[in-house]
Amino acid sequence: MAMTKKEQEAFNDLQRQRDEAVRLLHEWQDSVTQSPFSIGEIDCTQQPPRFSTRYVQTTRITCKHAGIEATMSIEDGCISIRYMDENGSIFTPVALVPRSAQAIELRQMKGEEQ
């Protein structure tokens, strides 16, 4: 027996709600399941401020900022970092600048810096 138009619309609406609920559940499960990549956030709207970690289920992540695109990946038991300019060119000079004993920054070199 075929559904009426109203029944079909109600069914389609329930299907969309179910799909959205499943997507949100998977998103939440992924965010709390440990993985090599995570995002740390500080929520200062509460007292005391609360630090939270959301995990990203991937083996590669890319950051684009200040004219540089850097990709970090897990390969052969190590962390690999590749970088280029925002247009995909590997020929634009990028400086690897030490900031402290355990930190570096990538800076696109311009003009006289080269």
Give how far Cα 89 sits from Cα of 4, 9, 66, 84, 85, Å: 57, 50, 14, 6, 5
Question: In this predicted structure, what is the pLDDT of residue 74?
Answer: 92
Q: Which residue has the tokens 């634009």?
A: 92
Convert the pLDDT of each residue in 9-63 to its tens digit: 999 999 999 999 998 998 888 888 888 898 888 988 878 888 888 888 889 999 9
Distance CA 83, CA 108 (A): 10
pTM exceeds 0.85 for this model? no
Q: Among candidates 62, 111, 103, which has minimal Cα distance to 83?
A: 62
Is 53:64 a contact under the CB 8 Å cutoff?
no
Do the strands 60-65 and 68-75 form a parallel or antiparallel pair, or are they unpaired? antiparallel
Give me the pLDDT at residue 26, please.
86
Question: Looking at the DSSP assignment, which residues form a beta bridge with residue 102?
Answer: none
Angle, alpha carbons 67-70-73 (nearest 5°)? 170
Q: What pLDDT digit, counting tens, does each position of 55-96 carry?
A: 888 899 999 998 899 999 998 889 999 888 888 888 888 888
Residues forming beta bridges with residue 52, ordered by sequence position: 41
